[in-house]
């Protein structure tokens, strides 16, 4: 779907998340959400916080799994995705701390493989992700699945693309400070979600959105794998959809 602007599109996405949470509440079930970081979902989180404060939307029945985290990364650091999620969402809602999951940037190298298997198992034990929201990087990455990622990949340690590190350099005060690695859910992990929403705003995403939506399906642009999914919706603003 293409909307007038990011604000209107974000309200639609927040609405779908809120409806999922309420539907699950009626059935006394947990809503299992896959969450993303970056500038793209910020207004979605803002709207969810507003609904919590003004409409009493509760997150007591919500379990979240974030897509990714830099590695290594101290969760207290200003650039961590833990800090991002706390500041933009978790600190302002009534979610239970034990229901929040974000890949751990503090692990020892040799602990990472087990951590990743456990991350997958926890999602599976809950019956899978009900909804995964995604942004898209200019390399075509989803989560931190950079070009070359396999369609059946699981949660794992990856090396970041040079362009991705350049795009992150402003947050870190220089590219040399951006971690070279990250722990990310895989394409396979994302694919198992019951619903997937990929969001993109602004003109600078238009060319990668054209490739993702209309380009040949290939590991060179990992987001093209979403063309194979029946449960994926691209939610765009006019600018991001400009080349379609």
- The residues annotated with a catalytic role in the active site are 146
Distance separating alpha carbons of residues 180 and 166, to the nearest angstrom: 11
Distance separating alpha carbons of residues 43 and 49, to the nearest angstrom: 10
Pairing of strands 2-3, 62-66: unpaired
Closest CA to 19 of 175, 195, 182: 195
**3 in Cβ contact with 239 (< 8 Å):** no
**For residues 238, 239, 242 and 243, what is the CA-based torsion angle, rounded to 10 degrees?**
-140
Q: Which is nearer to ligand GLP, 120 or 161 (CB)?
A: 161
DSSP 22-56: HHHHHTT--EEEEE--SSTTHHHHHHHHHHHHHH-
The yes or no reply on residue 37 touching ligand GLP (CB under 6 A) is: yes
Distance separating alpha carbons of residues 212 and 173, to the nearest angstrom: 30
Q: Which is nearer to ligand GLP, 57 or 178 (CB)?
A: 178
Q: Which is nearer to ligand GLP, 62 or 134 (CB)?
A: 134
Considering the complex, what minimum distance in angstroms separates the CB of residue 60 from ligand GLP? 26
Question: Scanning residues 110 to 169, which ones bind ligand GLP (CB under 6 A)?
Answer: 135-137, 143-144, 164
The yes or no reply on residue 36 touching ligand GLP (CB under 6 A) is: yes
Task: Map residues 50-79 to x or -, x wherever contact with ligand GLP holds by CB under 6 A.
Answer: -----------------xx-----------
The yes or no reply on residue 212 touching ligand GLP (CB under 6 A) is: no
Among 7, 23, 39, 113, binds ligand GLP (CB under 6 A): 39
Helices (H), the chain: 6-26, 42-55, 81-88, 112-125, 162-172, 187-191, 206-214
Considering the complex, what minimum distance in angstroms separates the CB of residue 69 from ligand GLP? 9
Q: Which is nearer to ligand GLP, 24 or 192 (CB)?
A: 192
Considering the complex, what minimum distance in angstroms separates the CB of residue 2 from ligand GLP? 18
Considering the complex, what minimum distance in angstroms separates the CB of residue 43 from ligand GLP? 11
Considering the complex, what minimum distance in angstroms separates the CB of residue 107 from ligand GLP? 18
Chain residues that interact with ligand GLP, rule: CB under 6 A: 36-40, 67-68, 135-137, 143-144, 164
């Amino acid at each position: 779907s293409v909307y007038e602007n990011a604000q209107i599109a974000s309200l639609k996405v927040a609405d779908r998340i809120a409806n999922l949470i309420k539907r699950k509440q009626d059935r006394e079930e947990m809503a299992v959400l896959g969450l993303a970081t970056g500038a793209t979902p910020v207004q979605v989180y803002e709207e969810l916080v507003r609904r919590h404060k003004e409409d009493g939307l509760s997150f007591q029945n919500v379990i979240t799994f974030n897509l990714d985290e830099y590695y290594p990364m101290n969760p207290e650091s200003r650039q961590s995705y833990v800090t991002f999620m706390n500041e933009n969402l978790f600190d302002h809602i009534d979610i239970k701390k034990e229901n929040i999951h974000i890949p751990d940037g503090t692990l020892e190298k040799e602990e990472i493989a087990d951590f990743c298997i456990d991350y997958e198992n926890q999602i599976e034990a809950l019956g899978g992700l009900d909804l995964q929201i995604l942004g898209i990087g200019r390399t075509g990455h989803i989560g931190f699945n950079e070009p070359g990622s396999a369609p059946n990949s699981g949660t794992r340690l990856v090396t970041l693309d040079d362009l991705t590190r350049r795009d992150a350099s402003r947050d870190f005060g220089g590219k040399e400070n951006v971690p070279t690695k990250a722990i990310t859910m895989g394409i396979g992990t994302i694919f198992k979600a019951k619903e997937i929403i990929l969001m993109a705003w602004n003109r600078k995403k238009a060319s990668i959105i054209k490739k993702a939506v209309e380009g040949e399906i290939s590991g060179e642009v990992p987001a093209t794998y979403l063309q194979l999914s029946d449960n994926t919706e691209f939610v765009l603003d006019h600018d991001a959809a400009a080349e379609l």
